[in-house]
Amino acid sequence: MSDKRERSMEKKGASLMHKYELGRLLGQGTFAKVYHARNIKTGQNVAIKVIDKEKVLKVGLIDQIKREISVMRLVRHPNIVQLYEVMASKTKIYFSMEYVRGGELFNKLLKGKLNEDAARKYFQQLIQAVDFCHSRGVYHRDLKPENLLLDENGDLKVSDFGLSALWDSRRQDGLLHTTCGTPAYVAPEVINMKGYDGAKADIWSCGVVLYVLMAGYLPFQDSNLMGMYKRIIKSDFKCPPWFPQEVRTLLSKILDPNPSTRITVEKIRENSWFRRGFKQCQTLHRPLSETNLVTKDVHAAFSPSDPNDKLSSTSNPPSLTPSRNSSFNAFDIISLSQGFDLSGLFENDVKQKLESRFTSNKDVSTIMSKFEEIAAPERFSVMKTDNGVVKLQGMKEGRKGQLTIDAEIFEVTPSFSVVEVKKASGDTLEYKEFCDRDLKPSLKDVVWAWQGNSVEPQ
């Protein structure tokens, strides 16, 4: 299929694989876009996730996509977004998934905290979904309100298994070792990077979600990322006065910094506060005929497509292999969509912190050189560190002293980096003007996409 035809397939009203009529764009990230679509034959509404094969191949994330397909095929539950079908063309992978109309639970929190009954209902449904995942040997590892969707009935659906792990991913010590997740929701043992039990780490994240639902803000708040980690490691949090004593007690058991004494899912399900108004979900049983589709879909998505771009049914090993087996291991760079911005849950002083992120397919030295060019001797002095930080300090005094800008570069793979740019000191207005007038235009040769935008590489 030509690139031109590929692009035309993503236009509203276009026919995808002669099976789905594509609708409006629902959201997008660095490597994927999600569209509303309709099954032409049945009329069923679905969400179509379109993944760019070339982009994920370049940055070594194909194994991650394969794992996501396998995991979603394993976890069929009323409170988990369902994967219906995986299709592929020459350059794209298409996930046909359950369309969840109500949007993210996170959007409800933007309006403030939830009442106790609503928070308990969502927490009950979250625990049931997580318990089911664990029973299938699946650990989500990125549970947060942005990954919890609501259907038309107001029921919760867990989504985004892109960072999930399977039971057999554990090392010989029986633990997982990939550091991943969203900073405010990760367990202390994940931060310590000495190995962790995926189930215990998920339980901690569920506790943070419960706190956020009832408080309207995060339990471990700090204007500095390292400060937040210190609070998490010590489980240094306080419950607001409106929390019932039962909830305070339950949270103290869930947000236990020692994973060996942390409460289990089984004990949470027995808790009297949790049991109030509890409704048991009926799991979706998979026909035996579907069990082979896990392997089949994974291989088909990464096998060369035929000239007519029909989904290959081969069960042979995939022909594409990643250039590097990579995992995102710095919390700041796990998620590159707008949903990652947690500022709405912080206090006002954190909201004022100015920073932005962009991805780049250039190597670290090229990115650093570009910042040196921007600085120019008469405008900024430049200091580089061995750990990928470039500091630009203004040569002239501004309204609030010298303007200082920090750019921290995270190398995910040799051909994929994430750069965080922020004002370290100086006047905010001067910083904004410099970014809009000089910084962003000057960086266009090394920027792949700014956070929340879809910008094709040069």
Question: DSSP string of 362-423?
Answer: S-HHHHHHHHHHHHTTTTEEEEE-TTSEEEEEEEEEEBTEEEEEEEEEEEEETTEEEEEEEE
Q: Sign of the C-alpha dihedral, residues 232, 233, 235, 238? A: negative
SS3 label, residue 37:
strand
Domains and CATH numbers, the chain: 3-99+290-301 (3.30.200.20), 105-275 (1.10.510.10), 354-450 (3.30.310.80)
Return d(Cα 336, Cα 346) in angstroms, integer.
Answer: 19
User: Annotated active-site positions, please?
Assistant: 142
For each of the chain's 458 residues, which pLDDT tens digit applies?
455 555 555 666 678 888 999 999 988 877 889 999 999 999 999 999 999 988 888 888 888 888 888 888 889 999 999 999 999 888 899 999 999 999 899 999 988 999 999 999 999 999 999 999 999 899 999 999 999 999 999 999 999 998 898 887 788 788 998 888 899 999 999 998 889 999 999 999 999 999 999 999 999 988 888 999 999 999 999 999 999 999 999 999 999 999 999 999 999 999 999 999 999 987 654 443 343 444 445 555 655 444 344 433 223 323 222 223 333 433 444 344 343 343 443 333 333 445 688 888 888 888 888 888 888 766 788 887 666 688 888 887 777 778 889 888 877 666 777 888 888 888 888 888 888 888 888 898 888 877 644 333 33
Tokens 């969840």 belong to 100
C-alpha closest to that of 321 among 292, 299, 305: 299
Bridge partners of 166? 138
Asked if residue 41 belongs to a known ligand binding site, the reply is: no
Return d(Cα 368, Cα 376) in angstroms, integer.
Answer: 13
